[in-house]
Amino acid sequence: MRRVGVLLAAAILAGPAHGQSPPPLAASTMTCGTLKGESSRKHSTTQWTISGPAGKTTETGILKSGPRFECLDGAVLTLEFASTAGHGVFEAYFPDGSIISYGRQQIDRRGGRVVLPVQAKVRIGAPWRAAFDYHCRLDMPADPIPASARADCIF
């Protein structure tokens, strides 16, 4: 008899759960100059969109963390996230439509500023290069650091 009472109580308490609507969409938006980042999450899936003068890009994934948007110098929109596999990604979107992307382990933060590999500097338009600091830790054979660029490195 006790077992029947426990099962009946469990069924009554579980009943409303079947009629519940799914959790609401968690959303965030950031506008940075001419760029806009939007993200929404439903259950385990996250969708994010970057809009700007060059068009709109939308991606979807199952993330461990993020996406997190930041605006640098009122013009550069950055995006950081980590996949469920643990791979961190940093992307910077520029008003001219260009994008740079690095693994999170290749960037650093120092004094509230983003520190990129010095090789990124030539890939960033001149008006936005000062939004970042640069390091010389990643001297790779396929992407060597020119001697002239070493003066720009903070460490």
**pLDDT (tens digit, 9 = 90+) per residue, 108-134?**
999 999 999 998 998 999 999 999 999
Total residue count of the chain as it appears in this document: 155
Average confidence (pLDDT) over 44-57? 94
- pLDDT at residue number 148: 76
- Within the chain, what is the greatest distance between any pair of CA atoms? 85
Please tell me the number of Cα atoms within 13 Å of 153 on its side-chain side.
16
Q: Of 24, 134, 23, 28, which is closest to residue 81 (Cα–Cα)?
A: 28
DSSP H or E run through 17: helix 2-19
Q: How confident is the model at residue 153 (pLDDT cuts 50, 70, 90)?
A: confident
Is residue 97 pLDDT above 90, yes or no?
Answer: yes
Residue 85 and residue 87: Cα distance in Å, rounded? 6
* Predicted confidence (pLDDT) at residue 152 exceeds the cutoff of 60: yes
pLDDT at residue 103 greater than cutoff 70: yes
pLDDT for the residue 26? 59
Residue 7 has pLDDT above 80, yes or no: no
CB contact at 8 A, 93 and 35: yes
The pLDDT of residue 23 is 47
Q: Is 14's pLDDT higher than 80?
A: no
Q: Residue 86 — very low, low, confident or very high, per pLDDT cuts 50/70/90?
A: confident
- The answer to whether residue 138 scores a pLDDT higher than 80 is no
From 71, 70, 33, 73, select the one nearest 53 (Cα to Cα).
33
Mean local confidence (pLDDT), 74-98 = 94
Q: Are 124 and 105 in contact (CB under 8 A)?
A: no
Distance (Å, rounded) from C-alpha 74 to C-alpha 90?
Answer: 18
